[in-house]
Amino acid sequence: MPIPFLAAESAGLLANLLNHSVVLRIFARYWRYFLEGARGTVIIALITVLLGSILGCGVALLRLSNVKPLVWFSKAYISVIRGTPLLVQLYIVYLNVERVITFPNATVLWLDFRRTMPCIIALVINSAAYVAEIVRAGIQAVDIGQTEAARSVGMTGRQAMGLIILPQAVKNILPAIGNEFVTMIKETSIIQYLGVPDLMFKQGIVTGFTYKPLPSYYIAAAIYYILNLVMSHGVNTFERRLQASDRN
């Protein structure tokens, strides 16, 4: 093998080792920034999915109703939200909310309430469109005979939905909502552009300190991966337990 090629390969390996050592040094010095950002990311994602699930359930019920204007509205809502970029929705909601609502300057759950709330509203509106389809699919997966049996014993449509259909649909819905939470952890990265202290915003601060963006991106990517790995494992474990309870 030619000596110049060996020299180039050795230089490349040395550069990689040095780069890795820079990553470790930066994390050792600024780990608090990354962990604070990860905490903000998880909190925002959790709030978003909880509120998005509530709104999504409402939109799904409108989608399944017999009132045509409500069905048209829910279809339009889902189509528009799923058909436009989240970043565009974020700016539209943020700029409009700022005009009509002035949130107080306060710190809630380690987050700037005034800056974070418009972002959460935008994320909730986006998440609800996806959750609505999850809920609709979960409800429609329940055997139609369940509804017919409920109506045959004198239940109204609302009673049948609340007492018979939804409890059975929950087993289909919950794992998918867990996956939505995993997805939202990654989606929240766009709120850095509005100054919300999530993981990517903190990564930007560390980059400003070190003038080395690439190692900071490596650290942020590793933290996102670990968070999603843990959450995915939790969702899979929960899903297996639901399946085991069905067999029993």
Of 14-28, 68-82, 97-111, the range with the lowest mean pLDDT is: 14-28
pLDDT at position 3: 47
133-147, 156-170, 174-188: range with highest mean pLDDT = 174-188
pLDDT at position 128: 96
Given a cut of 60, whether residue 108 has pLDDT beyond it is yes
Q: What is the mean pLDDT of residues 177-200?
A: 90
∠ Cα 29 30 34 (to 5°): 145
pLDDT at position 203: 94
pLDDT at position 248: 60
- Name the percent of the chain lying above pLDDT 90: 48
Dump pLDDT digits (tens) for 222-231. Answer: 999 999 999 8
pLDDT at position 167: 78
Given a cut of 50, whether residue 14 has pLDDT beyond it is no
Q: Whole-model pTM?
A: 0.84
User: How sure is the predictor about 6, in pLDDT bands with cuts at 50, 70 and 90?
Assistant: very low
Q: What is the mean pLDDT of residues 104-130?
A: 90
Dump pLDDT digits (tens) for 56-83. Answer: 999 998 998 889 999 999 999 999 999 9
Q: What is the mean pLDDT of residues 208-229?
A: 91
The whole-angstrom separation of Cα 43 and Cα 168 is 29
Given a cut of 70, whether residue 13 has pLDDT beyond it is no
pLDDT at position 241: 79
122-126, 171-175, 214-218: range with highest mean pLDDT = 122-126
In the chain the first and final C-alpha atoms are separated, in Å, by 64
pLDDT at position 169: 81
Position with higher pLDDT, 160 vs 212 = 212
Ordered by where they begin, the domains of the chain are 27-247 (1.10.3720.10)
Q: What is the mean pLDDT of residues 220-243?
A: 86
Q: What does pLDDT average to over the chain?
A: 85
Q: What is the mean pLDDT of residues 17-32?
A: 80
Given a cut of 50, whether residue 10 has pLDDT beyond it is no
